[in-house]
Amino acid sequence: MTNVHPGLPEFDYIRPASLAEASRFLAEHAGEARPFMGGTDTFVRMRDGAWAPKYLVDVKHLEGMQAIAFDPARSLTLGAAVNMNRVIAAPEIQAHYPLLAQAARTVASYQLRSRATIAGNACNASPAGDTLGACLVYDAAVAIHSVDGTRAVRLREFFLGPGKTALKPGDIVTALMFPLPPAGHSGKYLKLGRNVLSDLAIAGVTALGYPDASAASGFRFHVALASVAPVPLLPPEVEAILAAEPITPETIAAAADAAMAACKPISDVRGGADYRRYMVRNLTRQAVTTVWEAIA
Ligand SMILES: Cc1cc2nc3c(=O)[nH]c(=O)nc-3n(C[C@H](O)[C@H](O)[C@H](O)COP(=O)(O)OP(=O)(O)OC[C@H]3O[C@@H](n4cnc5c(N)ncnc54)[C@H](O)[C@@H]3O)c2cc1C
């Protein structure tokens, strides 16, 4: 019988002294070296035989990677290696970005969250990543260190396909940067899993809403869909419907229909494509209604 968990292959553990050294090493060993933080995706893939990097480059300890810096006049900078339990417990995140803490709380178990990071969730680029919707609706960007310097990429442009991102060899995500949240906002993440404990989403919907006088409805909503397309989706037509018409149960139902039409799910062990489509409609209606009741 085939062993589906062949065990960890041999690898060299690299602990660079600086971001410059780490980027240089990763660029010089493109294709055979990988950065890692919590390792909750990395070691599973290695154990299952999907990845066999010659070098694992530990970047958790490098400059700024463990910092949470909130400037009430500007933004939140969340060091890439901050684990999810720290995100959930951080008073500045609870106060200003509660949706991020709520989404992180849906990831697996306490034990897993003491290793897993939100930046790792993003770099792994699974369309099922539970924290990605919150990052998208708050319009976060990733800060990247490379051999050529630093740059920022909006998360809305970061995901290119399942497991594929805008990262190049030598790139290290150092932080997630969140603009100030919209005044008076409320958010909700609804995750449908096969159990309540530790499973990836069959479908997930993140909704964020806030008063906005420039919208005809008087409100602006951002809605992100997980596990129903090759990348996390932020369908513009859903936002457009909720901005254009007075918010009523009928408007919300129309937005939920648009969410269902926008998704392109596959059938897999967690659920069929049609089931996912209908669940997206239901979850969107439920999440947007919950947010609407909180901000109206
Ligand atoms: C039992 C179990 C249950 C899980 N349940 C859930 C769940 O319910 N919901 C969910 O969303 N996820 C779940 N996951 C997936 C996982 O925990 C997340 O994707 C996690 O957030 C990844 O973060 P990490 O720090 O562990 O990443 P790592 O494994 O360290 O890295 C992940 C990927 O990012 C790359 N990378 C790491 N750091 C950097 C960096 N600084 N710069 C550039 N690239 C980098 C790595 O090379 C790798 O490709 C589960 C995993 C396990 C093992």
At 163-217, the pLDDT tens digits run 999 999 999 999 999 999 999 999 999 999 887 666 789 999 999 999 999 999 9
**Rounded distance from Cα 41 to ligand 1 centre (Å):** 4
144 close to ligand 1 (CB < 6 Angstrom): no
Mean pLDDT over 110-125 rounds to 98
CB 117 within 8 A of CB 142: no
173 close to ligand 1 (CB < 6 Angstrom): yes
Report the nearest atom of ligand 1 relative to the CA of 42. Answer: 29
pLDDT of residue 113: 97
Strand duo 55-58 + 12-14: pairing: parallel
Percent of the chain exceeding pLDDT 90 equals 92
23 close to ligand 1 (CB < 6 Angstrom): no
Dihedrals φ, ψ of 285, to 5°?
Answer: -60, -45
Q: Which helix (H) or strand (E) holds 100?
A: helix 98-105
Instruction: Give the CA angle between residues 10, 14, 18 to the nearest 5°.
Output: 165
Report the nearest atom of ligand 1 relative to the CA of 34. Answer: 47
Q: Is the pTM of this model over 0.95?
A: yes
64 close to ligand 1 (CB < 6 Angstrom): no
83 close to ligand 1 (CB < 6 Angstrom): no
252 pLDDT more than 90:
yes
239 close to ligand 1 (CB < 6 Angstrom): no
99 close to ligand 1 (CB < 6 Angstrom): no
Report the nearest atom of ligand 1 relative to the CA of 45. Answer: 29
Q: How far apart are CA 290 and CA 273, in angstroms?
A: 26
- Report the first-to-last Cα separation within the chain, whole angstroms: 59
CB 224 within 8 A of CB 137: yes
For the chain, what is the mean pLDDT? 96
pLDDT of residue 7: 82
